[in-house]
Structures are given as structure tokens and as C-alpha cells.
């Protein structure tokens, strides 16, 4: 037993926030395999199904085919809209990003393409032509929120400076695939359709990618660290280059530039593989990196292969470490509380890195999402990839990924549950880090607590994005503030945003009976808080209780109160002098406290934002006021099940 106990121990240690390493592992792989000599000359050599692959399209499940055709039929009379000047200008007038203006025609074109591929009778070709002509006539394919990248004043796109943002990348990908799939049909209608389409993709996206190194998301000018924009947009550009570029030397140079840019993303990633943007953003971070690596492997006949690299493995398996129970994931920062994940990518990524937990988890997510009964989501290439794997994943072993605990020492995120393989009982996750993370909230030291796989103490998340979200006024938004996370307000002062506001001495340990995370969050607060030490500790006594403890030292006790704040979607009632009762979805918990040390107030907020309403109808904030605060003190809150 002693030996088993020792094996279960996770080494406890402190860590500072990771810094970028110039690994350049993708460029090294490209050099090792001689990318120039290995790269395919024709995209058709990648063996994706095309329009003429009738056996493939006819073999799809009838439910999928009929849904594709039905959806395409709904767009037979679609009136392709104009993106008006005022649609763009709204971003500087009210902050409204008008995302639906850009999303609607994209959805129409995607549905028509998939419907025609499925049916194969040319019934939707004319509307596909209308769709590609619509985009050819459009000034810019991006999203108004990103126009600040151009030299001209914000608000309207400058036709003389084509810039590449997420939206441009997405449309370039979709249009490249549409050109590839239907160029013969376009030529039968009129020789200018395919020619014009290719020219517009090259002019608006591919050539600017070749010529410029100063788009921040490329990471090539050293102006700032990159985030999920990098692999997301690079995958779209890699796709367009491989499909459209006829000059092999230019194609090689373009792919080499993608590889160099992707290395800037990999270089800033922590060795533990943690995604500080959260699991939902992993779908366009680690998952998009995988799409690049998979496409590079296919485009070099299997030679470009870095899936044996431990960092690449860690960047993949992060997704199940950050998983609570379907459909809930840990949602620190701007991440979503629920996400369907990316079943095919998770399955294939797990297969490529030889991680059976990840592979089975992908199959589990596919099962949860009723694969084979309805069309998959995503862009055209993503749907084709999922359809290619449909039978394999449906027949694969599926298993929920309920690991006992995890610790990402550089990202400073940890989590544990009562029992591996079961969603029953407690699950918690907590974080350290710094307050300049990507999509940052001022949330160092916060936690989430779930019971029987359902939320109890929560991270509210983020409201629908507006211009304010990514402006200097970001932290005026209530969901970004530390007082609306599970954190203290010290001497009436909240945490501050910025790279200098950090958690220190973050530690995690776990064994078969207990899991403990602790971090000192004193340096996350400005000087006005007058705090020298604030050690927040979360302890899970497996199968018994969850304890939140604070040990603190203040240099001064000020007139403004110190409070302990907890956010919950549960109904909260005071049931005794020292107990609150939390009624959640199928469970009842007690939150015990010392009434001589703290006294609670309960504040209810009705959720009205459409983004947050996906998860919460309303939020209760429990505000424990510290009574007669001293310069040194200890608080303890204990959560147990009501049996």
C-alpha cells in the first residue's frame, strides 16, 4: 500500500510563468525531410473526395444526405446580400460587430456546396456561382472589428490595402475548396467564373500573405506574442496555397512561410501544453495546429510528422485534462462553459500521438453528438474530413475521459475529481498564472466546483463580444473583474490587469485520498490593497468535502471591507447561523463558515446577455464580509453534500 501511495503522489513544486522557447521544431522537421523536394505538386494527390467521387457521396447515411439536400434547397432562392458601408461603420458607432452580416452568406455558400456534393445533379450550381460571384464583388472578406490592422482609418475596408484577418482566412479557405470542387462545372457555364474566383482569392489573401510579414498573428515581425489566430489563419492560408498556387517555387516558399509562422505559435506554448485561452478556444488553437500538421503530413506523403514530439502530444491531450463532464469544460478567461469539442480532430489527434484516452474521448464526443444522424459542422473541408472518418469513428471504442487529476505547472492550472472514471461527487479546477493571458480575466486564484458533473461554483464567462471587449475599457465589464470570480476583494480593491500582476508559489499535489492546489495571489492586487500575502488553498478530500482556505497578511486594514466572493448558478439559502444551502441541478450542498469571522450576503443577477444565457439564467454572488479584519488572518469555507 505504501508503494502504491507513493506512486500516486504527484510531485509538488512551484513554478514561475513560462517564457517563450525558440524551439522552431516545425522548421527543423521541414529541413530534415527536405520540404521542397517532398511537397506535392497537385492537391488532387491528397486523395480527398471530389465532386466526381459519387461512390463516396452516395455511401453517406441517408439521414445525412437528406439533411444536406434539404438545407441546400432552403437557399435556392437566397438573395445574396450587400455588406453595406453602415454595417462596417457600426463597429465605430456602437461597438456592434455585426457578425451575422458576414456569417449568413458564408452559411448559404457552405450549405449549397455540401448539398451539391451530396446530390450531384447540378441543381445548386447556379446558386453556388452566385455565391462565389458575390464574394468576388465584395471589397473585403473580413470582420469589421479587425479593420484596425489597416493603415487607413478604422471603420471601412481600404480596397488598396488587402489585409488578412480571421474572416479573410475563413472565406479564402471555403472559396478555394469551392474552386477545386466545381471549377470544371464553372467553366462549362462561363470561362470567367473560375478564373475570376481564383484571381480574387490570390489578390485578397494569398498574395498579401506572400508579401507581408507584419500581420501580428503571423508572429514574424516580433511585435507581440501570437494566439489562436496564428494556427487558425495559417491553416486557411496553407489550404489556399496548396490548392491554388501553380508555381511550385512559390508554393514551396508559401508553405515554408506557414511553417515558420506556425513555429511562432509553438514557440510561445508552455511545455505542459496548457491553452490559457481555454478549451473552447483550443478548438482554434491546438485543434487548428493539428489541422496544419495533418495537412502538411498529407502534402508531403507522410514525411512531415512531428506527432512523436512531447510538446505536440501535450498540446493535444490538454483538451481532456480540461474536461469536467459532458458538455462542461473548465472555462477560465473567455472560454465557454460548454462545448461540443471537435470529435474528429480529437479522435485523429489522439490516434496520431498514440494517446488512447484522447482517441476514445473523440469517439465518445461523436457518440454524444449523434454522429451519422445529421451533417457535421464546420467549413467545407472540415465537413469533408469528418465525413471521411464517419464510419471509423462510429465503430471505434468510445470512453468518457474522466481522469483523476491533472497539473499544468507552467500554465498553473490544476484539477481533480473524487474518483477517476466517474462524474459522481466533486470536481474542482483552479488557476494561478498572470493577468495578461490571452482573453484574460482578472482571475488569479479562482476555482470552479462541480458536483455530479453539474456546475456549483462557476466562472460566469464572457458576454457577447463588442468593440468594448477588446478595448482599454475591457475591465469595466463585470464578468472580467475579480470580484465576479471566486476570489477576495481586499481592502475594497480588486485584482489588476497586466503582466506584472501574477500568482506566485503555485503548487499542486494529489494522492488517492486528497488533492490540493495553493497559490499566493497577493501580487495580483495593486498597492492600494495593502496585501503582503494571500495564500488561497483548495483541498479536495476525495468523497468527503471541498475546502477553500485563505491565509493572509495585510500591511494595513483600511476602511473599505475585505470580502470573499463566490459565484454560483445554484439557488442559495441561509439555513443556519453558519451554513448556506446550495441547490443545484440534482444535488444539494452545504457551505459552512465561521460566523465569528465572516457574514454572508447574497446578490442575484438576472442574465440578459444572449451569450451568457446559453449557460446561466441567473447568477448568485455570495459575498462574505470579513468581520473585524486583522492584519493577519485565516478564513475557511467547507462545502459538503447534504445527504
Per-residue pLDDT band for 21 (boundaries 50, 70, 90) equals confident
Report the mean per-residue pLDDT for the chain. 95
The answer to whether 531 and 552 have CB atoms below 8 angstroms apart is yes
Residues 266 and 23: beta-carbon distance below 8 Å: yes
**What is the CB-side half-sphere exposure of residue 387 using CA atoms within 13 A?**
28
Strand order in the sheet with 571-576: 504-510, 514-520, 531-541, 545-554, 632-641, 588-592, 579-583, 571-576
pLDDT reading at 354 higher than 90? yes
* Predicted local confidence at residue 226, as pLDDT: 95
332 and 446 in contact (C-beta within 8 Å)? yes
d(CA 169, CA 486) in angstroms, rounded, equals 38
Tens-place pLDDT, residues 135-186: 999 999 999 999 999 999 999 999 999 999 999 999 999 999 999 999 999 9
* pLDDT level of residue 12 (50, 70, 90 thresholds): very low
Specify the pLDDT at position 112. Answer: 98
Evaluated on CA atoms 214, 216, 218, 220, the torsion sign reads positive
Residue 338 DSSP label: B
Answer for the pair 491, 562: CB distance below 8 angstroms, yes or no. yes
Cβ burial, residue 119 (10 Å; 0-12/13-18/19+):
middle
pLDDT tens-place string over residues 332-345: 999 999 998 899 99
Global pTM value: 0.94
Measure CA 111 to chain center: 25
DSSP 3-state assignment of 33?
helix
Span 419-460, pLDDT tens digits: 999 999 999 999 999 999 999 999 999 999 999 999 999 999
C-alpha cell at 603: 446578490
Q: Give the single-character DSSP code of 354.
A: T
pLDDT digits (tens, 9 = 90+) for 577-603: 999 999 999 999 999 999 999 999 999
Amino acid at each position: 500500500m505504501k508503494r502504491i501511495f507513493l506512486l500516486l503522489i504527484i510531485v509538488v513544486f512551484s513554478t514561475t510563468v513560462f517564457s517563450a522557447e525558440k524551439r522552431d521544431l516545425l522548421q527543423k522537421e521541414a529541413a530534415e525531410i527536405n520540404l521542397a523536394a517532398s511537397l506535392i505538386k497537385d492537391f488532387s494527390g491528397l486523395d480527398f473526395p471530389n465532386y466526381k467521387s459519387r461512390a463516396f457521396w452516395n455511401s453517406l447515411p441517408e439521414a445525412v444526405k437528406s439533411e444536406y439536400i434539404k438545407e441546400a434547397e432552403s437557399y435556392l432562392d437566397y438573395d445574396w446580400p450587400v455588406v453595406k458601408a453602415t454595417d462596417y461603420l457600426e463597429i465605430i458607432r456602437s461597438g456592434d460587430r455585426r457578425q451575422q452580416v458576414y456569417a449568413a452568406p458564408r452559411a448559404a455558400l457552405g450549405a449549397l456546396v455540401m448539398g451539391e456534393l451530396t446530390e450531384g445533379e447540378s441543381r445548386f450550381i447556379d446558386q453556388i456561382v452566385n455565391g462565389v460571384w458575390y464574394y468576388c464583388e465584395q471589397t473585403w472578406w473580413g470582420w469589421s472589428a479587425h479593420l484596425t490592422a489597416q493603415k487607413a482609418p478604422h471603420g471601412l475596408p481600404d480596397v488598396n490595402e488587402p489585409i488578412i484577418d480571421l474572416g479573410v482566412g475563413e472565406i479564402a479557405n471555403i472559396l478555394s475548396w469551392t474552386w477545386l470542387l466545381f471549377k470544371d462545372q464553372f467553366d462549362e457555364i462561363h470561362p470567367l467564373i473560375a478564373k475570376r474566383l481564383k484571381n480574387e482569392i490570390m489578390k485578397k489573401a494569398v498574395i498579401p500573405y506572400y508579401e507581408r510579414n507584419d500581420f501580428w498573428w503571423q508572429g514574424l515581425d516580433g511585435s507581440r506574442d501570437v494566439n489562436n489566430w496564428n494556427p487558425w489563419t495559417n491553416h486557411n492560408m496553407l489550404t489556399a496555397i496548396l490548392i491554388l498556387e501553380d508555381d511550385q517555387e512559390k508554393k514551396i516558399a508559401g508553405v515554408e512561410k506557414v511553417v515558420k509562422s506556425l513555429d511562432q505559435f509553438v514557440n510561445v506554448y508552455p511545455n505542459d501544453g496548457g491553452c490559457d485561452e481555454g478549451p473552447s478556444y483550443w478548438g482554434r488553437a491546438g485543434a487548428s495546429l493539428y489541422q496544419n500538421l495533418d495537412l502538411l503530413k498529407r502534402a508531403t506523403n507522410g514525411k512531415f510528422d512531428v506527432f512523436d514530439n512531447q510538446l505536440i502530444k501535450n498540446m493535444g491531450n490538454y483538451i481532456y485534462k480540461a474536461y469536467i463532464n459532458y458538455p462542461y469544460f473548465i472555462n477560465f478567461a473567455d472560454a465557454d462553459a460548454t462545448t461540443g469539442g471537435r470529435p474528429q480532430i480529437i479522435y485523429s489527434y489522439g490516434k496520431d500521438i498514440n494517446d488512447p484516452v484522447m482517441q476514445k474521448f473523440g469517439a465518445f464526443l461523436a457518440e454524444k453528438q449523434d454522429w451519422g444522424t445529421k451533417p457535421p459542422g464546420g467549413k467545407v473541408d472540415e465537413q469533408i474530413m469528418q465525413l471521411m472518418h464517419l464510419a471509423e469513428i462510429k465503430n471505434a471504442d468510445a470512453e468518457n475521459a474522466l481522469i483523476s487529476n491533472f497539473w499544468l505547472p507552467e500554465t498553473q492550472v490544476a484539477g481533480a475529481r473524487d474518483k477517476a472514471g466517474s462524474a459522481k461527487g466533486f470536481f474542482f479546477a483552479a488557476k494561478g498564472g498572470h493577468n495578461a493571458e490571452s482573453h484574460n480575466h482578472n482571475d488569479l486564484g479562482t476555482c470552479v466546483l462541480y458536483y455530479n458533473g453539474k456546475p456549483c461554483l462557476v466562472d460566469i464567462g464572457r458576454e457577447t463580444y463588442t468593440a468594448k471587449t477588446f478595448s482599454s475599457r475591457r475591465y469595466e465589464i463585470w464578468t472580467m473583474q475579480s470580484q465576479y470570480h471566486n476570489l477576495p476583494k481586499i481592502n475594497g480593491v480588486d485584482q489588476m490587469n497586466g503582466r506584472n500582476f501574477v500568482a506566485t508559489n503555485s503548487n499542486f499535489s494529489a494522492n488517492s485520498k486528497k488533492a490540493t492546489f495553493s497559490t499566493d495571489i497577493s501580487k495580483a492586487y495593486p498597492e492600494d490593497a495593502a496585501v503582503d500575502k494571500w495564500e488561497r488553498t483548495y483541498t479536495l478530500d476525495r468523497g468527503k468535502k471541498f475546502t477553500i482556505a485563505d491565509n493572509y497578511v495585510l500591511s494595513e486594514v483600511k476602511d473599505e471591507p475585505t470580502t470573499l466572493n463566490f459565484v454560483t448558478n445554484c439557488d442559495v439559502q441561509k439555513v443556519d447561523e453558519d451554513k448556506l444551502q446550495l441547490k443545484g441541478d440534482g444535488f444539494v450542498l452545504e457551505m459552512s463558515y465561521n460566523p465569528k469571522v465572516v457574514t454572508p450576503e447574497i446578490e442575484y443577477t438576472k442574465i440578459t446577455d444572449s451569450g451568457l444565457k446559453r449557460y446561466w439564467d441567473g447568477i448568485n454572488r455570495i459575498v462574505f464580509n470579513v468581520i473585524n479584519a486583522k492584519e493577519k488572518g485565516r478564513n475557511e469555507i467547507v462545502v459538503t453534500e447534504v445527504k
